[in-house]
Each structure stands twice: as C-alpha cells, then as structure tokens.
Amino acid sequence: MKTTKPAPRFAICINNSEYPASLELHKIYRVLPDQDAQADGDMRIIDESGEDYLFPADYFIPINLPQTAIRVLNKSFVQPMAVA
C-alpha cells in the first residue's frame, strides 16, 4: 500500500507583535500538521530560524495555493534562491 505525504500547508503572517525576530509581517510560512497545537489554538510554523515552533493561530491566515506555487515554494525552502 502506498502512503502519501499530506499536502504542504501555508499561512500568511498577519501579526508578529510578540515575535518580531521570528516572524515577518505579510510573509508566507510553511505550516506543519500538529493536532495538539491546533486544539490549543496554536500553529506549528517554520519560522525565520528555519526551525518549527508554536505560535498563536490567530497570528496567521491559512491560504490555499495553486500547485505551481506550492512546487516553487517547496523548492525555494530546500535550496537558497540566487541573489542578483
């Protein structure tokens, strides 16, 4: 039986007032599934450090993206973008 990975989820930061070093306002972040965090009103986000941490869910708006955008974002998280 083939198992599939859950689709990547993303959210836009709409409040970084308590975490200005960890979150950038209006930036898209990857969301990792965490049912316990969700039950507590939090989201597990990969922040500016590249690590996943819990943040208040109301600091973000979950978004649905087209597959093309998801592929580009996932690729950009794996390898740094070239600087012009």
What are the extents of the domains in the chain?
A: 9-78
pTM of the full structure: 0.78
Number of helices followed by number of strands (H, E) in the chain:
2, 5
The residue to which tokens 């507590």 are assigned: 40
Contact 43, 53 (CB under 8 A): no
Per-residue confidence (pLDDT) for residue 1, from 0 to 100: 56
Q: CATH classification of 9-78 is 2.40.50, yes or no?
A: no
Query: Which of the residues in the chain have pLDDT under 70?
Result: 1-8, 77-84
Mean pLDDT of the chain: 86
pLDDT at residue number 4: 59
